[in-house]
Amino acid sequence: MTKNPRLRMCDLLCVFLVFLSFVAAARAQPGYSKHTLTVGAGGISPVSGWKTFSYDAGPAVNLSYGFRLDRHLQAEVGYTGALSRYTDCYKFGCSRERKRVSLMDYGLRAILPLKNEHVQILAGLGGGYIWNDLGYLNSFHNGVLIQYSGRMSLALDARQRFRVGSTLRFWRDIGRPTQQWLTLTGDFTYGF
């Protein structure tokens, strides 16, 4: 049984046409990006809890990736890095130095698209983890957190690929709170 080269070429052409039809159908879907990369800069502030009493507010940066599961639901994972002044007092005086606080977050966001996706309001809930410069000495400073977040973003272009906005995120540990943090960032988002 010999193979016909015309038949093979026809099969490749059919597969290519099916692929093109899937691409065309995907582009014809409602105008929202499935993937988003967000970069933000702002600040972090300790809210309450005995683990945060020695910290002051400081600058923070955030990087996150989101995958849109549906028009109204997004899964997201991110990292927030911050510098905060830490005050440590002893019998003979106090010392102040900058300490790094790192927060990892993950969770789901509900999306409320307004004005045909030009304005988005997002509300999220998920988990997180905190570690800081003190964690290597005192592991009780590191731990699992839960986080609530809210974001509003505005599209900058007609295709809604580029967005600016702001994210407010509240972090706390589970149970009786021993540490609570608040981050506020101004964001730039690229969707694809």
Domains and CATH numbers, the chain: 32-191 (2.40.160.20)
Q: What is the pLDDT of residues 102-133, one digit of tens each?
A: 999 999 999 999 998 899 999 999 999 998 77
**What is the value of pTM for the model shown?**
0.77
Secondary structure in 3-state letters for 70-125: ECCEEEEEEEEEEEEEEEEEECCEEEEEEEEEEEEEEEEEEEEEECCCCEEEEEEE
Specify whether the CB–CB gap between 39 and 187 falls below 8 A: yes
| Residues above pLDDT 70, as percent of the chain | 80
